[in-house]
Amino acid sequence: MAEAEQRPNAPLLQSSSSRLPDFKQSVKLKYVKLGYHYLISHGMFLFFSPLIAVVVAQLSTLSVKDLHDLWDHLRFNLISVILCSALLVFLFTVYFLRRPRPVYLVNFACYKPEEARKCTRQVFMNRSTLTGSFTEENLAFQRKILERSGLGESTYLPEAVINIPPNPCMAEARKEARTVMFGAIDELLAKTNVKPKDIGILIVNCSLFNPTPSLSAMVVNHYKLRGNIVSYNLGGMGCSAGLLSINLAKDLLQVYPNSYALVISMENITLNWYFGNNRSMLVSNCLFRMGGAAILLSNKRSDRRRSKYQLVHSVRTHKGADDKCFSCVTQEEDEIGKIGVSLSKDLMAVAGDALKTNITTLGPLVLPMSEQLIFFATLVAKKLFKMKVRPYIPDFKLAFEHFCIHAGGRAVLDEIEKNLQLSEWHMEPSRMTLYRFGNTSSSSLWYELAYSEGKGRIKKKDRIWQIAFGSGFKCNSAVWKALKTINPAKEKNPWMDEINDFPVVVPKVSAL
C-alpha cells in the first residue's frame, strides 16, 4: 500500500485524506463480538482448565488411607467406573480430534538482489527522465515523492526497468520472477535441509504478474516437486496477500497431516512500471521495489524443537463489500491507454477503517484481561448508557513485544505509530525496511522480521504481530510466538552483512 498523493495542485501529504482516522473516535461493537466469537469457539481448553485444576487440587489432599478406601469403594461399583471411564475417553477423544494442529514456522528466507540491481534515487530520476515518457511537472512530482518517501539509496529494481532503454516484456518479467523466487527458495532449503520432494503444499502470491503456466507451476517444474503436491497461485490480492497465503497454508495444514507448506511472497516490477502521466498511478513507481520471501511451515510435532515460531492467530478483514473500499486501489488504463495502479484519495481513510476493524477483532484474542476490562467498561458506558466517553484503545504493547507493519509508505507508518502509540523502537524494523529495500509488497513483513532477528531482539516466548494492507480492500494480521531465542551470529539474512549500520536517521524530507 502506498500514500495517496493524487492531484497536481494538492499539497503533498497534507490533506486529511492522507491520514488514518483517529481510532478513538468510534469502535464498532459487532467487531468486538466477532473477536470473542473466535475466542469462545476455540475455548474448550478454557472450559476444562478450571475443572482439571480442581481435580488435581483435590487429589493432592488425599492420604494413602483415603486412596485405599476409594479403591475399595470403586471395586463394588464397577458399572459406574466403566461408564465414567468411557465418558472420559470419549471426551478426550473428541478434544484431541477437534484440537487444531500446531503450525510451526521452521525458517524463512528473504531475497537480496545483486549489487548491479541497486538503484539510487538519483539513478531513478535519471532513468525516468531518459524514458521521455514523463512531463517536466510529473518528473518534479516524482522527485517530491522520493524526497518524502523514506526510501534510501540502496533499493533494487529489475534489469528491464533500469536498462536504457527499459525493456518491459514477458520474457524479462519471467526472468525477474525466477530470480527472486528461486533465490529465496534456494536459501530456505539450504537453511532447513528440507528436500523439495518433502514439500506437500505450495502457495505463491504475486498480485500483478500472473502468467501461464503459473508462478507456482514454475516452482514445481524447477524443483521437480512431487506429482500430488497441493499448489495454489494467488493473484490480485495486494500487499496483504502474504498473510493470506499464511492463513491458507494454516488451513491446509489442518487437513494434510505430517506436511510441509512452502509459501512464496513477492511482487513483479518489470511489467508493472507505469509510463504515463496520471499522478495517482505514478506514486507506485516511486515506492515499489524488487524483493521476495520464502517461508517454510510445518505441522509435524517433531519439527517444534528446530522451528523458530509457532502461529498463534490469524485474523482477516475484508472491506470489499463497500464500493469505496473496493475501488481505492485499481489496476486500469489511463486516458492514453497506459496501464498502471491507481490510488484513490480515500486510500488512507479506507486503510484506517480496515485496520480498526482488524485490531478490534484481534484484541479479545491477545490482550491481557486488565486491558479488556477497561476497554469493555468504556464501551458499555458509551453504547448502553450513552455516556460521552471516548472508547479506550487498548495498549497493544502489552500483548506484543515486536511489530512488523507493512512498509507501504512513510505516511502510513507515521499514522499507525501515532494511533497505536508505538515507540520508535517498535517502528524501527518497518522504517529501516522501507529505507533499505523500499516497498517490496507482501514480502516486506519478512524483511522486517529478519531485521529484528539480525538485531538479536527475538527472545524465546516473544510475541510478534504482523499486519498488512492490500487492495480489495483488506487488512490482515498474523500473531507468532517465538519458540527459541534467535542468535544473530548464526543467522543468514539480507541484513547480516550491514546490520551494524542500522538504524539510521531518516529525515522527513531528504532533498535530491
Give pLDDT tens digits along the chain (512 positions). Answer: 444 433 333 333 334 345 665 555 555 545 555 555 455 445 545 555 666 677 667 667 777 777 677 666 666 676 776 777 777 777 667 656 667 899 999 999 999 999 999 999 999 999 999 999 999 999 999 999 999 999 999 999 999 999 989 999 999 999 999 999 999 999 999 999 999 999 999 999 999 999 999 999 999 999 999 999 999 999 999 999 999 999 999 999 999 999 999 999 999 999 999 999 999 999 999 999 999 999 999 999 999 999 999 999 999 999 999 999 999 999 999 999 999 999 988 888 899 889 988 988 888 889 888 777 777 777 777 767 777 777 667 788 989 999 999 999 998 899 899 888 899 999 999 999 999 999 999 999 999 999 999 999 999 999 999 999 999 899 999 999 999 999 999 999 999 999 999 999 999 999 98
86 occurs within a structural domain: no
Active site residue 68: no
Q: Is position 65 within any domain?
A: no
Instruction: Tell me what pLDDT residue 63 has.
Output: 75
Residue tagged active-site, from 402, 404, 426, 476: 402
How many domains does the chain fold into? 1
Angle at 237 between CA 413 and CA 10, to 5 degrees: 45
Question: Does a structural domain hold residue 68?
Answer: no
Distance (Å, rounded) from C-alpha 329 to C-alpha 471? 5
**Which pLDDT value is given to residue 384?**
74
**201 inside domain:** yes
CB atoms within 10 A of CB 488: 16
What CATH code is carried by the domain that includes residue 161?
3.40.47.10
Predicted local confidence at residue 297, as pLDDT = 98
Q: Which domain holds residue 488?
A: 104-500
What pLDDT score was predicted for residue 394? 77
Residue 502 confidence (pLDDT): 97
Q: Is 206 a catalytic residue?
A: no
Cα distance between residue 374 and residue 82, in whole Å: 47
* pLDDT value of position 46: 55
Active-site choice (247, 272, 285, 439): 439
- Specify if 463 maps to a domain: yes
Q: Known catalytic residue: 318?
A: yes
Which of 204, 255, 261, 206 is closest to 229 using CA atoms?
A: 261
Would you say residue 15 lies in a domain?
A: no
For 37, the grid coordinates are 466469537
Q: Residue 10's pLDDT is what?
A: 37
- Taking Cα atoms as reference points, which of 412, 469, 20, 430 lies closest to residue 207? 469
For the beta carbon of residue 44, count every other beta carbon within 10 angstroms.
Answer: 14
CA distance 510 to 144: 9
Q: What is the pLDDT of residue 9?
A: 38
- The alpha carbon of residue 268 and the mean position of all alpha carbons in its chain are separated, in whole angstroms, by 18
Single out the catalytic residue among 406, 426, 476, 493. 406
475 is catalytic: no
402 noted as active-site residue: yes
Residues making up the chain, counted from first to last? 512
Q: Does a structural domain hold residue 84?
A: no
Residue 114 lies in a domain: yes
Q: What is the pLDDT of residue 95?
A: 58
For position 482, what pLDDT does the model report? 98
> CB neighbours (10 Å) of residue 28?
14
What is residue 5's predicted lDDT score, i.e. its pLDDT?
A: 37
- The active-site residue out of 110, 119, 239, 286 is 239
Q: What is the pLDDT of residue 243?
A: 97
Query: Catalytic one among 268, 318, 328, 475?
Result: 318
CA distances from 373 to 144, 255, 364, 379 (A): 46, 37, 10, 10
